Amino acid sequence: MIRGIWTAQSIAWLIVAALLPALVVVLIEQGLQGAFRIAVSLGAIGFWQLVFAVVRGQPMSPAGSVAAVAVAVLAPGEISIGQLVLALTFGTVIGELIFGGWGRNVLSSAVVALAFLYFSFPETQHDPAGIRIVLASVPAAILLLVTGILSVRVLFSAIAALVAVTFLLGEDASVLLTQGSLAFGLVFLVGDPVTSASTNPGRWLYGGLSGALAGLFGWAGAGFGAPQTIVYAALLASIFAPLIDHGVIATMGYLRRPDHG
């Protein structure tokens, strides 16, 4: 039997490749300070992965670097190195490694780390990511869609729900096009294959839920200018993802019963 090449590891490397345009934008916009922060983030993530690899025999995964870039893009405010390391440690260990590493986690480590930063240090202001991140997210989305890592169903239903909520609230949908935080979050946080729903009908529901939540938070809450919007939407939606899957499977089981043809 011949082994295929699409292991968890190679999928993780493809996600890293998709991150590269966003990384370039971060380096252009934030310069040396941005590079330093990403290096520190990667060091913290790598350290904890190594600890779990040696102690628990868990495979290390390059997918952890999503958190490093996500924090750079979605939390660019004045946070100290100590705060950064603390947030990433919490995100990586509590969000991912204690569940068995990337692929077995319920919430994405990037989302957990970001939520930790926003909650613990609410005084820090984070500027919204701009149009360049939108442009960087497009090739990333294409790469992940073509390889089947990012679900068409999730992305499409999330965008559709977001636009629908926008129209329901009577707002202007064209504003959404320039929101870098939103684009990056949709592709890498909401679209994370591990933490989204894993059945096809579930993917539609999950995408719709996260899009609708992002719309609500954006127009009625913190505003699309704040990167918190998409992070909280992704956090809530992925908490509901297992429930959505469970409902889908129960419904399918009901429909499969012999007396239902």
Partner 1 sequence: MIQKRNAIKISNWRGLAVSQSGAPLQEIRPANTVQTVGMLGADYPGVRAELLVSSGDQVIAGMPLFCDRKRKDILFTSPVAGRLTDITIGAKRRFSSLTIEIEGNQRTQFAIPEKPDRDQAQRLLLESGLWPGFLARPFGRIPNPGSAPDAIFITAMDTRPQAALASVVLAGRAETFERAVAFLTALTDGPVFVCQAPGPRLVDEGAQVRCATFDGAHPAGLAGTHVNRLFPVRGKRQVWQINYQDVLALGHLLETGELVSERIISLAGPCVRQPRLIRVPAGVNLTGLTDGELSDGAKCVLSGSALDGRESRYLGRYHWQISVWPRRPAVQARNWLRSAKARAQPGPVIPTEALEHALGPRIPVMPLVRALSVGDAETAERLGCRELLEEDMALITHRTGGRQDFSAMLRLVLNSLEVSA
Q: Which residues of 218-235 are buried (b: 16+ CB within 10 A; e: fewer)?
A: bbeeeebebbbbbbbbbb
DSSP-derived 3-state class of residue 58: coil
37 vs 153 by CB, closer to partner 1: 153
Quick check: 95 and 113 in contact, CB under 8 A? yes
Do residues 58 and 30 make contact, with C-beta atoms less than 8 angstroms apart? no
d(CA 42, CA 48): 10
Contact flag: residue 3 with partner 1 (CB under 8 A) = yes
Chain-centre distance for alpha carbon 168? 26
Provide the CB-side half-sphere exposure for 189 (13 A, CA): 35
Least separation, in Å, of the C-beta of 64 and partner 1? 14
Exactly one of 49, 92, 109, 151 binds partner 1 (CB under 8 A); which one?
151
Is there binding between residue 150 and partner 1 (CB under 8 A)? yes
Q: Which of 40, 42, 53, 236 binds partner 1 (CB under 8 A)?
A: 53
Q: Does 54 bind partner 1 (CB under 8 A)?
A: yes
How many residues in total does the chain contain?
A: 261
Please report whether residue 102 would count as binding partner 1 according to CB under 8 A: yes
Q: Which span sits near partner 1 by CB under 8 A: 74-82, 122-130, 171-179, 192-200?
A: 192-200
Both tokens of residue 9?
């590891």
Would you say 11 or 18 has its CB closer to partner 1? 11
CB 234 within 8 A of CB 190: yes
Tell me if 255 contacts partner 1 by CB under 8 A: no
Distance CA 167, CA 217 (A): 14
Task: Write down the least CB distance from residue 59 to partner 1, Å.
Answer: 4
Stretch that binds partner 1, among 68-76, 117-125, 170-178, 191-199 (CB under 8 A): 191-199
- How far apart are the C-alpha atoms of 163 and 8, rounded to whole Å? 33
Please, what is the minimum distance in Å from the beta carbon of residue 238 to partner 1?
A: 12
Decide if 113 contacts 71 (C-beta within 8 A). yes
Q: Which of 83, 110, 79 is nearest to 94 (CA)?
A: 110
DSSP 171: -
Residues 109-148 vs partner 1: string with x where CB under 8 A? -------------------------------------xxx
Q: Which is nearer to partner 1, 225 or 242 (CB)?
A: 242
Site for partner 1 in 26-45 (CB under 8 A): none
> According to CB under 8 A, which one of 138, 152, 177, 239 is a site residue for partner 1?
152
Question: Mapping DSSP to helix (H, G, I), strand (E, B) and coil, where does residue 108 land?
Answer: coil
Q: Kindly tell me which of 1 and 32 has the beta carbon lying closer to partner 1.
A: 1
Q: Is 207 in the site for partner 1 (CB under 8 A)?
A: no
Residues that bind partner 1 (CB under 8 A): 1-11, 53-54, 57-61, 100-104, 146-153, 193-194, 196, 198-200, 203, 245, 248-249, 252-253, 256, 258
